[in-house]
Structure 1
Amino acid sequence: MSDARAVSTTLSYVLALAIATVLITGIIVAGGSYVDSQREQVIRDELTVTGQQLAADIERADRLVRAADTDGDVTVRTNQSSSNSVTGAPYRITLDSSTDTLVLNTTNPDVTVRVGLAVETPLAERTILGGDVQVRYTGSKLEVRDV
């Protein structure tokens, strides 16, 4: 009696398992990178919206400072409430006075968004964590602070 038939069944079973393993691994790897790229895009979109809202507050404070009587004391403060993370990633807000730019970034994943500011009042260089933010005029410069 020959045992060739038993070897054929075992061999086909092992080959089917190997092919299924390779296919499932490929799907998991491709799906994982797709999810990561989609997460980065969502973070970028959320940072853009948050940055534009904060930029509007900074520009509004700039207009109020310029419209006020410069001989007296001027107090301008605006508060913006937002989440302290975007898609589960904490973010930082930097006010770059050299380029009049608001920079928002996360570190994991590494995503950076820049929003230009149209202001005439000088800006104070400052980096804060995202979340509730106050834009205030210090008497000579506009700055962002944690609330």
Structure 2
Amino acid sequence: MTGRTPDSRRLRDDTRSVSITVNYALNLVVATMLIGGVLTATGGMVQDRRESAVRTELSVVGERVASDLMAADRLAEVGSAGPGTDPTVSISVTLPERVGGTRYDVSIRTSPAVIVLRSDTPEVTVRVGFHHDTPVEETTVRGGNLRIELAGDGDVEVVAA
């Protein structure tokens, strides 16, 4: 007699407890892979939507700045038409400090006449053209409240308010 009982042989061949543990572990791995795949797939879509939203908001901000810049240009032209008068032009422009949750810069360029808006994260650049007869100073300011003024030298300039 070897000392083995029929019960010990039955327990040694029983793999049910291992099957439950392995089955549970495999289910966890599959669920983790599925969740990871979903997050990876939707992460790129969220980034694309954010870039699109920032681009749209920057376009709107650029149009507002261009409109006010052209209005200041017209006011400077009309004001300088009078003999012996110094024109005073000052337009306050209320803009958001952030678009799509990110900071942005407003750059005024004159050759060609374009306003370049550039966000930090995500990096999005939008260009909006404008027309001017009065000389405009090239500058770059941080997004937020701005002031468009006629400087002492007769140039229109954009400054942070």
TM-score (norm 2): 0.83
SS at match of 2:86: coil
Q: Distance in 1 between matches of 2:137 and 2:82?
A: 19
- 1:122, 1:74 → 2: CA distance? 14
Distance 1:114 1:56 in 2: 14
Question: Identity percentage over the alignment?
Answer: 36
Pick one of 5, 18, 23 that aligns with 2:29. 18
Query: In the TM superposition, what are the counterparts of 1:1-147 in structure 2 within 5 Å?
Result: 1=10, 2-68=13-79, 69=81, 71=83, 72-138=85-151, 139-147=153-161
RMSD: 1.6
Deviations 1:74-98 (A, max 9, x none): 2211111122111221111110112
TM superposition shift of 1:10: 2.5
2:3 corresponds to:
none
Letter paired with 1:61:
A
- Shift in Å at residue 70 of structure 1? 6.2
Q: Which runs of 5+ in 1 are unaligned?
A: none
- 1:131 match: secondary structure: coil
Q: Does the 8 A contact of 1:101 with 1:114 survive in 2? A: yes
One-letter identity of the residue aligned with 2:158:
V
Contact 1:40 1:109 survives alignment (8 Å) = yes
- Cα contact 1:100–1:123 (8 A) shared by 2: no
Distance 1:33 1:3 in 2: 48
Amino acid of the structure 2 residue aligned with 1:66: E
Q: Number of matched residues?
A: 147
Deviations 1:80-137 (A, max 9, x none): 1122111221111110112110111111111111100122222101111111111112
Task: Report if the CA contact (8 A) 1:58-1:135 is conserved.
Answer: yes
| DSSP 3-state at the match of 1:110 | coil
Task: Write the distance in 2 (CA, Å) between the matches of 1:93 and 1:81.
Answer: 13
Question: How far off its partner does 1:67 sit?
Answer: 2.3
**In 2, Cα distance between equivalents of 1:24 and 1:108:** 26
Residue 55 of structure 2 aligns to which amino acid in structure 1? R
